[in-house]
Amino acid sequence: MVSLKKKKNHIKSAKEVISLEINALKSLRNSLNESFNKAVNEITRCQSKVILCGVGKSGLIAQKIAATLSSVGTPSFYLSAGDSSHGDLGSISRKDILILISYSGQTNELRNIIQYANRNKITLIGIVSKKNSILYKAADIKLLLPQVKESAEIIPTSSTTSQLALGDALAISAMKVKKFNKLDFKKIHPAGNLGAQLKTVEEIMLTGEKIPFVNENLKMKKAIKILSNKKLGILIARNKKKITTGIITDGQIRRFNQKNIDLLNLKVKNIMTRNPVSINKDALAVKAISLMNNKKITSLCVFNEKSKSKTIGVLHIHNILRSNIS
């Protein structure tokens, strides 16, 4: 076992790798031209699918870009270069856009795909580093990556970083053109942490019989029984027109009891807090958390934009925690 004293410090090597990749990204940024605009325009106008393909490390990058495009509103999938020549070319239609990624642009596995695209007049976008390559010459839109220094001569590092960054730039630019927003994202990404963060108040609030409504003129003796039965620690007070007039918390009741006041014979409106903190049902649940934290409360009344004076739901901190929202 090597002793700690003899262990080599690898930070210098790591910094060299990262510096080379930073330089590659700077070169990429400076190289962007009208071809990039054309590629984004084609992607946003596409009425079908965007298909990505590459071989080796470029293939892995193609898979990631396809996933990113699909996540931000552009239907995409990855096509295996090896399988394409054994029937999978049939998955490409004339309305599709084909993005081929290759450092050299000469990869044998891509030749059949290039020929198929040209023969069937399928829009071909080439992401390539070699200008005199088959892919560069055949592509309808040529995205030429700058020549970069790799961290190691035997594997691509800086070049694949450039490919990935360019793919992200295409995806996000297309997303902005389509005005794809958080709510759109939520529709196609309902699960996981990101999906949870995009839940609206309406999706997790309590409604109907679960809301602890009481009339503002009700005696506290009866109101306390409702408070106990609903088990939310709050009461929402309303008038005869069902307009929300106030809120009572179990904390308020405890404080009144300490004052030796005949609480049970008081009316709800005598001790309620008027103008309770409320939130729109369409607001994101994360906004509700922020509001609760700022106001130092654990529950919110929920209203509909059409009638802000009427409570249609209650959001308790427990609802938020159960939904894995933070």
What does the domain layout of the chain look like in residue ranges? 13-180, 201-322
pLDDT tens digits for the chain (326 residues)?
A: 445 556 778 999 999 999 999 999 999 999 999 999 999 999 999 999 999 999 999 999 999 999 999 999 999 999 988 778 777 888 888 999 999 999 999 988 899 899 999 999 999 999 999 999 999 999 999 999 999 999 988 889 999 999 999 999 999 999 999 998 877 777 776 666 677 778 889 999 999 999 999 999 999 999 999 999 988 899 999 999 999 999 999 888 888 877 777 888 899 999 999 999 999 999 988 899 999 999 999 999 999 988 889 999 999 988 888 877 76
Domain 201-322 listed as CATH 3.30.390.10: no
DSSP state of 9: P
Contact 113, 102 (CB under 8 A): no
As its CATH architecture, domain 13-180 has 3-Layer(aba) Sandwich (3.40)
Residue 133, Cβ neighbours under 10 Å: how many?
20
* CA distance linking residue 40 with residue 44, whole number of Å: 6
In what side-by-side order are the strands of the sheet with 278-280? Answer: 278-280, 299-304, 307-316
pLDDT of amino acid 106: 93
Q: Which two tokens stand for residue 150?
A: 């790799």
Within this chain, domains 13-180 and 201-322 share the same CATH topology? no
pLDDT of amino acid 183: 74
Residue 316's closest CA among 261, 250, 264?
Answer: 250
CA distances from 80 to 49, 92, 97 (A): 15, 12, 15
- To the question of pTM greater than 0.75 for the whole model, the response is no
DSSP state of 7: P
In what side-by-side order are the strands of the sheet with 244-249? Answer: 213-215, 234-238, 244-249, 273-274
